[in-house]
A and B are shown apart, each in its own frame.
Chain A
Amino acid sequence: MKKLILFVSLSFVFNFGAFAQVEKTETLVVDDNQEAELAYNKGITSFQKKDYKKAITGFTSAIENKKSFYQAYYNRGRAKSEMKDYKGALGDFNKAIELKKDYAKAYFGRGIAKIYAKDTTKTAVLDFSQAAVLGEKNPKLFYYRGIAKFLNKNYHGALSDFSQTIKLDTLNAFAYNERGSTKRQLKSYKAAISDYLMALKLDPKMLVAYVNMGSAKKMMKDYDGAVADYNTAIKLKHDYYIAYNNRGSVKFEQEKYDEAEKDFNKVISLEPKYAFAYNNLGMVYMKQNKYDKALTNFNKAIELNADFAKAFANRGSTKEMLLDFEGACSDWKKAVELGIENPKEFLEGCK
């Protein structure tokens, strides 16, 4: 058996030959066969220092030394989550649960990872509920379950979870923003705005809350109010392309096509692969009767996202204006195939 003796720094003292004061703690030596625990604890230290990469190394070494070390799997899952490797995290939480069926924390952690890993959001809610049943007391459980419900379009459920979060943590700016967005999805725009305002009161630099508030105003057709909010967001973050894209859309609704064009071009300069902006810019050119330029932009949008239904619909309408009826019909057909309803009626005139 490999012997692991940790002399802290004694031998140095000796080699220098000076009889330095020997600290009592320095005479403690780790017992044999604790490699797993030691690596695990080291991992925790690194995690607390937010050095997640090192933390993962520690937990991995712990697991190598002790295959049944479920806490190490859990912690490694957490570290991977913090590093946004949600798929990897899911694997670890799965393993932890396999090793310990009633492991509440692992269900909770897995729920969070499922939220962020693509395609797995659906079952996240189940994990949070299972964690709660098993006695998980983390107050954030409601917050994350609210997010999971929101993402699953269960807005009424999300609303009550976010309200519960706020009840437990009245200063949670994020929870106010999320609840505002939930209300927005439920079309209660005014109530949404008051939540966004609360979020901003708690965190005046919360960009998303400004943009969300602007968009709620946009939906209430308060275009000037919306623009003002987007402006604030842009002031706080000059390269916040989502705010530019939204502002451009409002300008478009206001039929201020030149200004909209500027905003969408700005988005593209900031985020050259943002297909939405090309689609919107194409629409501006449609309104300006610049059909060739519109076509170029819709082409670009589709090049960036081959499943971009709305861009197909819009490109079809552009081709119609260019009297390319076959092209128009095939684009509209594609848009319908990709799941949007609008172009169905356009297809009436197609063969």
Chain B
Amino acid sequence: MNSVKFIIAISFLTFIFTFSVAQERVYIKKKEFFTTDEGFKEAWKNIKKGNFLFYQHRPASYKDAIPFYKDAIAYNTENAELNLILAICYLRSDPKAEALKYIQKAIDQKEDVHEKANFFLARALHHNLEFAKAIVEYDAYKETLNGKKLKEQSPIIDKYISECESGKILKKKTARIIINNLGPQINSAFDDYGAVLSSDGLRLVFTSRRGEKGDRINPMDDKYFEDIYTSDFVDSGWKEAENIGKPVNTDWNDAAVDFLDEKNMLIFYRGRERGGDLYTTLYKKGKWKNINSISNKVNSKKSKESAISFNADGTTMYFVSNMDDDSFGGKDIYYCILDDKGKKWSKPINIGDDINSEFDEESVFISPDEKTIYFSSKGHNTMGGYDIFISEYKYDSWTTPVNLGLPINTADDDLFMTILPNARDAYFSAIRKEGFGSFDIYHATILGPEKPLLLTNEDELLAGIATPIEESFIEESMKISYTRMTIVKGSVTDFNTGTPLASTIELVDNATGKLIKKTTSNKNTGSYLISLPSGKDYGFSANTDGYMFHSENFVVPEAQDYKEIFKDIKLQPITPGSKIILHNTFFETAKSTLRTESFSELNRLAKMFEKSPNLVIEISGHTDSRGSRSANQRLSVARAKSVVDYLKAQGVKAANLKAVGYNFKFPVASNKTKEGRQKNRRVEAKVLSN
């Protein structure tokens, strides 16, 4: 659907002039103005030129006077009257907010510079949104009035004060709206206003009072007559605005009012006849043609119809008129409804006093669904001049209009709000300090209510999570079973001399035949110490070069407590007659077959021959006394032979060995006991020569 709106040229002027009734006189005294010769002549000339314009007391002449006074003030910035007159010029043209610094200077220089000084200061403060301060000055000015003057001026001053009161409240919150001037492609130093846009926002039609070659000046306000301009938004920028030309634009006021892009229809205002009426024109093949009066219902003969806005299907139009019928005061907003056949418009109906105040309303924009209306008004809670208001249609009536507030509205006139269907992009017209001069068209990005921001912080709520607690609990340890060791200790000495000997001591587990411990006795003391797990059968041997080795076989009983076994060993030197019992040589019972446990000892014996090649040894078998002698003789010989055979197999020469059997001829213990008999069953090795 369409975007919106329009303007009538004349409407602007009317209010600008409203309060310029008073035609002040301000005398700048040459003497006071003079500071130095240099530049004085020129400056004074400028004052004269300024004065010439100022005293015409026309809006345009005030504005035209400004450059001359500003040149003059460059010569002398301190002259109270010059500052005052410059302030008045700004207050009566634009931008009004500029007046403040001059009026303040004027009063600083000369408190009684003018009887209306407080009033001018109040106005300047008002336009700078310094509402509280402005009220103080309005009140101060009012104090100076009495009688007829008071009666005359009170209503307007009270209106200003009430605007300031509204402003004070409105100033407290600023809507999230970003405002941008449309830029020099659109705006000029002259009035530019009344933007209407295609629904996609890419085509802009507006009204400007800029002058072009041959343009005429409207004698009513000394400004060029209105003409309609257009521009397209291309590549993120507006193209240079173009005058849409004849036949729409004439030498008189022609102003854009609404743009129905679906129909390629422009509705525009023509001010020359019948007090100002509304017309339509269609865009065909690059040209605006088919100009028609919009409707006789709307266009009354005498009154001026300006802004208009259509609902979505074009069946209702809202417009502004100064027609007298049903007016609530000044210009009001009316609407007409198209009949069911789509041909006849109803009579204008006043929208009602919810919207229309006793003051002027101007410009109207109806949302396509007719639920929201934007309009400008000098009434309600305006903070000065026209402010833009919004009202919503709820429960069969319009809600109390809400002033859009800052930053859109200012103390000056704010008009022609148009909102695109996206509800975010809006266009309006206003006089703002940052503009290119007079009215400019502004774009407003409406961001809606502030988006709440989301802080992020955390607490370490649980101490046990922030710092995991060191916990000591674990499963208990296991019981370990131990075996008690038995200590075997003693010394190794020479059998004959008792000299301590270093001897290799070996312990073999007889059950497995494995060597479990090997150590050496101390060569100085002959002492040794060995620990053994209790409850086992051990083969023990001590071996020193040049000596017959010693071997024995013993059982270490299971011990609960600490136990020591002492074993002193005397080794016999290898000399004829020396003999040892081969304690660890075992045979199968009643046989001569060697058991494997015997090998380690016999190997040891065989080694003795390596070192002493001339050694001759007699290996003798002995038995206990049980059984016949002859049987024992056989067994003892056989066992001695078994040993000799084994030794031979280990490389000992036969000549070095002699096997003999002595049956039980040489017992070493009693044959009456088991232990004794066991001792008697043995093999001996005796050195025969070496």
Contact = CB atoms under 8 A, between A and B. Distances in A.
B458 A276 contact: yes
A215 B461 CA distance: 10
Range for the number of chain B residues in contact with chain A = 35 or more
Contacts of A279: 454-456
26 contacts: A17-B524, A28-B482, A28-B484, A29-B483, A30-B482, A31-B483, A37-B480, A44-B474, A71-B476, A140-B471, A173-B463, A174-B464, A185-B461, A208-B463, A211-B459, A211-B460, A242-B457, A246-B459, A275-B456, A276-B456, A279-B455, A310-B454, A310-B456, A317-B453, A321-B178, A349-B422
Interface stretch (B337-345, B350-358, B485-493, B648-656): B485-493
Contacts, number: 189
Nearest to A69: B478
B443 to A, nearest CB: 10
A57 to B, nearest CB: 15
A140 B471 CA distance: 10
B interface secondary structure, majority: loop
Interface string A189-214: 00000000001000000101101100
Given A29-B485, A138-B473, A246 B480 contact: no
Nearest to B460: A208
Interface in B434-468: 445, 447-448, 451-468
A321 B480 contact: no
Nearest to B450: A317
Contacts of A215: 457, 459
Interface residue tally on A, bucketed by range:
35 or more
Contact of A209 (B463, B479, B531): B463
Contacts of A112: 471
B522 interface: yes
Contacts of A5: 533
A349 B459 contact: no
Contact of A212 (B459, B474, B477, B487): B459
B531 A7 contact: yes
A341 to B, nearest CB: 11
A174 B469 contact: yes
B689 interface: no
Contact of A280 (B457, B470, B489): B457
Given A112-B471, A116-B468, A212 B483 contact: no
B349 interface: no
B36 interface: no
B529 A29 contact: no
B451 A10 contact: no
Contacts of A209: 463
Interface of A: 5, 7, 10-11, 13-15, 17, 19, 22, 24, 26-31, 34, 37-38, 40-41, 44, 47-48, 50, 71, 74-75, 78-79, 81-82, 84, 105, 112, 115-116, 138, 140, 143-144, 147, 150-151, 173-174, 177-178, 181, 184-185, 199, 206, 208-209, 211-212, 215, 242, 245-246, 248-249, 252-253, 275-276, 279-280, 283, 286-287, 308, 310-311, 313-314, 316-317, 320-321, 323, 325, 340, 342-343, 346, 349
Contacts of B140: none
A10 B470 CA distance: 39
Contacts of B458: 242, 245, 276
Contacts of B525: 17
Contacts of A30: 480-483
Contacts of A320: 447, 451
Contact of A342 (B452, B486, B531): B452
Contacts of A310: 454-456
Given A14-B529, A40-B477, A283-B455, A184 B471 contact: no
A173 B480 CA distance: 40
B424 interface: yes
Contact of A28 (B455, B483, B528): B483
A253 B464 CA distance: 29
B457 A276 contact: yes
Nearest to B561: A24
A254 to B, nearest CB: 12
B144 interface: no
B477 A44 contact: yes
Contact of B448 (A7, A10, A28, A349): A349
A29 B533 contact: yes
B477 A27 contact: no
